[in-house]
Amino acid sequence: MGCTILIESDEASEPIFDLQTWLHNAELDDVDVKLAPGRSVPGTLGAELSSGLMLLFKSHALPGLARALASWIKVRKPKVKLTFKSGQKQIVLETENAPVDRELIDNLTALITNSN
């Protein structure tokens, strides 16, 4: 299974690296977190800095992954917009006003599960 988390922020690229480190430090078994490739810059041979993370995981790892994402939001209180994408499905979460509770964890788990 897999999904991409796109991160929009006024804080340059710091939240992306913070979330990547957070998920790595959570030591989630069977979850691989990598920077998503940046978009190509027209007229150049380069690409923009990554604005997202690619997650690959096994289904049994989903509850831990959702809890780690929710704890990052709760502890770091980032002012970012997260867009979770998988296939043709996506969900957008404005973290500044998101209540971090069991419902959020369940919704993240359901989104990722049902989009694959």
pLDDT in tens, the chain (116 residues): 788 888 888 876 689 899 999 999 999 989 999 988 776 666 766 656 668 888 888 888 888 888 898 889 888 888 888 888 877 778 888 887 777 777 777 777 777 666 54
80 in helix, strand or coil?
strand
Residue whose token pair is 């992306």: 16
Range of the domain at 90: 2-114
- Total domain count for the chain? 1
CA 95 to chain centre: 12
Residue 21 maps to which CATH number?
3.30.70
The alpha carbon dihedral of 91, 111, 104, 32 has a sign of: negative
The answer to whether 6 and 85 are in contact (CB under 8 A) is yes
pTM comes to 0.79
Where helices occur in 1-116 by DSSP H, the ranges are 14-25, 62-76, 102-114
